[in-house]
């Protein structure tokens, strides 16, 4: 797996999200943030996540989607339960994944992080294929950028977020990335 100079991963399927912008100048990418997402909550598969990240989610398609009407969010990557890797935003751009957040006294984590969404839920074990691909992606990203910290969304926005949740096996993940 290779990250090119434009911040695109060769093994990913690319679906461009408009929900990104330029990173502020002078800041290195030093943080990897792991999230989870399922739409509707607790349901896997389908195209709702891609539709959300591309502003094409129909609020009338499911009652929960009404709560997301007008929301503009994205992540750099999505790892589906099958192990498929989807890239929405080039790493050199700022994806809108972290929201109000801070890490090590530094606010605005979107400015200096890469966001990876795992298709999942806090209380549902992640698939082996997801751990395998997340480890490969993490190694590739660490080769391309000076990533010094890897955290869950819950660690940078503890009052708002709980993902990737108790079902994420941090020890397994950390041992897989060396």
Q: Is the peptide bond before 40 cis (omega within 30 degrees of 0)?
A: yes
Residue 9 DSSP class: B
Active site residue 117: yes
Pair of tokens at residue 127: 């698939």
Of 134, 125, 121, 138, the closest CA to residue 84 belongs to 134
- Domain presence at residue 60: no
Kindly report, residue by residue over 153-166, the tens digit of the pLDDT.
999 999 999 999 99
CATH assignment of the domain containing 147: 3.40.80.10
The percent of the chain in helix, strand and coil, each rounded to the nearest 5, is 25, 20, 55
- Domain presence at residue 171: yes
Q: How many CA atoms lie within 13 A of 39 on its CB side?
A: 22
pLDDT band at 25 (very low <50, low <70, confident <90, very high): confident
Kindly report, residue by residue over 26-85, the tens digit of the pLDDT.
679 999 999 999 999 999 999 999 999 999 999 999 999 999 999 999 999 999 999 999
Domain span including residue 21: 14-38+74-177
Kindly report, residue by residue over 84-94, the tens digit of the pLDDT.
999 999 999 99
- Domain presence at residue 55: no
Radius of gyration (C-alpha) of the chain in whole angstroms: 15
- Domain presence at residue 63: no
- Domain presence at residue 151: yes
- Domain presence at residue 51: no
- Domain presence at residue 66: no
- Domain presence at residue 169: yes
Q: What is the pTM assigned to this prediction? A: 0.96
Burial class from Cβ neighbours inside 10 Å (0-12, 13-18, 19+) for residue 86 reads buried
Name 121's Cβ contacts closer than 8 Å, sequence gap at least 6. 36, 38, 41, 42, 165, 167
Query: Total domain count for the chain?
Result: 1
d(CA 6, CA 62): 36
Q: Which of 50, 56, 84, 117 is catalytic?
A: 117
């Amino acid at each position: 797996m290779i990250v090119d100079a434009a911040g695109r991963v060769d093994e990913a399927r690319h679906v461009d999200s408009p929900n990104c912008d330029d990173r502020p100048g002078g800041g290195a990418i030093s943080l990897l943030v792991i999230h989870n997402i399922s739409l509707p909550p607790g349901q896997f598969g389908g195209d709702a996540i891609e539709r959300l990240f591309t502003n094409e989610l129909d609020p009338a398609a499911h009652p929960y989607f009404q709560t997301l009407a007008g929301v503009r969010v994205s992540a750099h990557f999505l790892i589906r339960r099958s192990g498929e890797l989807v890239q929405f935003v080039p790493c050199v751009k700022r994806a809108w994944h972290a929201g109000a957040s801070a890490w090590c006294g530094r606010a605005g984590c979107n400015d200096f992080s890469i966001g990876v969404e795992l298709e999942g839920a806090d209380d549902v074990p992640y698939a082996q294929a997801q751990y395998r691909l997340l480890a490969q992606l993490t190694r590739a990203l660490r080769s391309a950028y000076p990533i010094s910290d890897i955290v869950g969304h819950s660690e940078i926005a503890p009052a708002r977020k709980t993902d990737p949740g108790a079902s994420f096996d941090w020890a397994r993940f950390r041992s897989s990335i060396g």
